[in-house]
Amino acid sequence: MTDTQWNVFEVFHQQARGEPHVHVGSIHAPDAEMALVLAKEQYSRRQACVNLWVVPAEAILATAYENDDIFERGTDKSYRESWGYKTPKTIHGDGTA
Amino acid sequence: MTFNSLESLKGTNRDAAINLLYRLADDELIIGHRNSEWTGHAPILEADIAFSSMAQDEMGHAQAYYQLLHQLGERDPDTLAFGRKPREYRCASLVCLPKGDWGFSVLRQFLYDASETVRLTALCGGSLVPLAQLAGKLRGEEKYHLMHGRSWVLRLGNGTDKSHAAMQAALDFAYPHALGLFEPTEYDEPLAQTGISPREDELRRQWESAVAPVLADARLTVPGEAKPFYGGRVGQHSDGLGELLESMQLVYKIDPTAKW
């Protein structure tokens, strides 16, 4: 049977200017502009939003879960963990968080 | 002339503002109800959610206008929404029409929300401050409604031969009713002279300029000699409104004093 579903777009939601866009789910739409129109009600009707991104799901290249061992740490890498630093979510032009 | 409060309206100006608010509120209430009839029935889930949300928006706008009417001494919003007879409503015929197919409903939504956008833009700069402030608050939602309607009209108009033919038929049917949104009333002059709202023929001209390019981009032809459906603004409605109200008021009428 032919798949009559529209294309899938992944939706990214931004709660306030300067905040990161966060992936909130996906949406079916015939094209990107319609995806934005439909995503607006789907993903911002309950929470604050200033900006939405939609990305064609097929544009995303993902690692395979069968290769998730590439993320494992074969030896102690704790020296990479930067405890004690302030890690802002956003960086402003003047370097302040 | 500026009216900083509803209480500062007197005589004909007050009657004119009340009439205008009923037209605004009743259009929103009835199209909100009609569009809510798609909840659970729209072609796809995403469209269902968006259309249902917009129906809620319109109901919210109606409630806000009824609240202003209540401040002007009319009955409370619930009674105004659910406790009136068909002839007491001041909505245009466009919003009363049955929901039809999806193409008709999104076309109607586009034509209607284009008129709302024109009206709200004018009211924002109007002399009745409480209404201007409310119009300013509602504009963002109406802007989205217009984006939504425009997007659907463009895609269905430019879709397949079948979708294009259906949209042209929907436009031929809906357009004369849409012109009825701008039915002149006896309050056109006082509303225009006081700067509360432009005359209906001026709003119609602005609306025609707003919808024409979108309809052209959708390869749809505006009917040449469309005779407007008037009567709604003076309470003359087709049977459709009576049937809609019967359904909408059913629960309310069982116990009008019930607290929810």
pLDDT tens digits along A18-73: 999 999 999 999 999 999 999 999 999 888 999 999 999 999 999 999 999 999 98
By the CB < 8 Å criterion, does B43 face chain A?
Answer: no
CB atoms within 10 A of CB B105: 24
**B151 and A37: CB-CB below 8 Å?**
yes
d(CA B113, CA A85): 52
d(CA B98, CA B104): 10
**B46 and A42: CB-CB below 8 Å?**
yes
Tell me how close the Cα of B196 comes to any Cα of chain A, in angstroms.
Answer: 32
Burial of A31 (0-12, 13-18, 19+ CB in 10 A): middle
**A41 and B53: CB-CB below 8 Å?**
yes
| Architecture in CATH of B11-221+228-254 | Up-down Bundle (1.20)
By the CB < 8 Å criterion, does A52 face chain B?
Answer: no
Per-residue confidence at A91, pLDDT binned at 50, 70, 90?
low
**A41 and B49: CB-CB below 8 Å?**
yes
Q: Name the residue among A6, A31, A38 with its Cβ closest to that of B50.
A: A38
H-helix or E-strand spanning residue B133: helix B129-157
Query: Which residue segments constitute the domains of chain A, with CATH numbers given?
Result: 7-62 (3.10.20.520)
**A41 and B54: CB-CB below 8 Å?**
yes
Strands A7-14 and A22-29: antiparallel
Domain boundaries, chain B: 11-221+228-254
Q: Name the residue among A28, A31, A33 with its Cβ closest to that of B46.
A: A28
What angle do the packed helices B45-71 and B102-124 form, to 10 degrees? Answer: 40
Per-residue confidence at B163, pLDDT binned at 50, 70, 90?
very high
What angle do the packed helices B102-124 and B129-157 form, to 10 degrees? Answer: 150
Which pTM value belongs to this model? 0.91
For residue B147, the chain A residues in CB contact (below 8 A) are 37
Per-residue confidence at A97, pLDDT binned at 50, 70, 90?
very low
